[in-house]
Structure 1
Amino acid sequence: MDVGPVEYVVVAFPGNHFRGEIAPELRALVASGTVRILDLTFVKKDVDGVVSYIELEALDPTEASVFDDIEGEVGGLFSQEDLDLIAEELVPDSSAAILLWEDTWAAGMANAVRRAGGQLLAHERIPAEVVERAYQDAA
């Protein structure tokens, strides 16, 4: 089986205001075969700094409904240590969505590299702001 690179993202929501605008875009990525969801967990820090962890299936049905049509979600792949490290970075009265996905679009290439005996030496995402600035500087 070809397996693509696996990545995680952490998206913080100051004031604990998650409104669900991300879900339709995530749904489109999954439906197109671009990514496969492996885990989705939420971390919430209240105004007193008390942290709680919520798996997708434990969310309030109204909050969870924005993710209803998204295929995937093996779950349980984040360790408690992973979650604790992310929680440390959150300011009080904020939350974060922690998403682990497989880049299925790259599975064939990743498998070809493995078959050829290649080894990945570096892989890094370049922030959009950096790319935009580079384009502006080059113009």
Structure 2
Amino acid sequence: MAVGPVEYLVVAFPGSRFRGDLLPELKKLVDGGIVRILDLTFVKRDDEGAVRFLELDSLDADEAAMFADIDGEVGGLLSEEDLALVAEEIPAGSSAALLVWENTWAAPITGAIRAAGGVLVAHERVPEVLVELDLQAIAREGALS
């Protein structure tokens, strides 16, 4: 079975104010077969700077309920070292969510590349801010022509 590219992101919530507004969009991606959640872990740093790592099953009932409708095989990919590195970047009184997902939409092309004897040499994600700036510059140049 071919596996699509696996990516991760870290989303910080200053003041630990996670309201769950992004969850409907994540659910659409999962339900549509575009991504498969592989791991989801939370980092919480209290006002004194003490850090706690929480898996989904360690959240309080209200927090965990926000994730009830999202399918995934959560757990095991993030090491304590991974979490410690993220925790260093989280200010006191804040929290973060670490999400690891597979781009399931890309699994067929991944399998086709292997079947054709191809070897992936590079795969980079270009930050959307840079693309937006480039597209704006192109649009301005087109308006000047």
Give the TM-score taking structure 2 as reference length.
0.92
Q: Spell out, residue by residue over 1:24-66, the C-alpha distance to the aligned partner (whole angstroms, 9 max, x if none).
A: 1111100000000111000011111110000011111111111
What letter matches 2:55 in structure 1? Answer: E
> 1:130: which partner in 2?
130
State the partner residue of 1:7: 7
Aligned partner of 1:83 in structure 2 is 83
1:17 aligns with 2:17: yes
Cα RMSD of the aligned pairs, angstroms, is 0.9
Helix, strand or coil: the match of 1:117?
coil
Q: Distance in 2 between matches of 1:34 and 1:15?
A: 31
- How big is each residue's C-alpha offset from its partner over 1:79-129, in whole Å with a ceiling of 9 and x where there is no partner? 000000110111111111000100000000011111222122211211221
Q: Counterparts of 1:13 and 1:53 in 2: how far apart (Å)?
A: 15
1:103 aligned partner, one-letter code: N
Q: Which residue of 2 aligns with 1:116?
A: 116
- The residue type equivalent to 2:41 in the other structure is T
Q: Distance in 1 between matches of 2:56 and 2:73?
A: 9
Letter in 1 for 2:18: F
Alignment of 1:34-73 (within 5 A): 34-73=34-73
1:2 Cα deviation from its structure 2 partner: 2.0
Q: Does residue 107 in structure 1 map to residue 135 in structure 2?
A: no
Distance in 2 separating the partners of 1:61 and 1:118: 47
Do the aligned partners of 1:33 and 1:105 also contact (CA within 8 Å) in 2? yes
Q: Which amino acid aligns with 1:112?
A: A
Structure 2 counterpart SS, 1:67: coil
How many Å separate the matches in 2 of 1:17 and 1:57?
19
Distance 1:88 1:120 in 2: 32
Q: Which segments of 5 or more consecutive residues in structure 2 lack a partner in the other structure? A: 140-145
Larger Rg: 2
In structure 2, C-alpha distance between the alignment counterparts of 1:106 and 1:45, rounded to whole Å: 35
Partner-residue secondary structure (3-state), 1:110: helix
Given the two structures, how large is their TM-score scaled by the length of structure 1?
Answer: 0.96
Secondary structure of the 2:119 match is coil
Structure 2 counterpart of 1:129, one-letter code: V
- Deviation beyond 3 Å, 4+ runs, structure 1: none
Identity among equivalent positions (%) equals 60
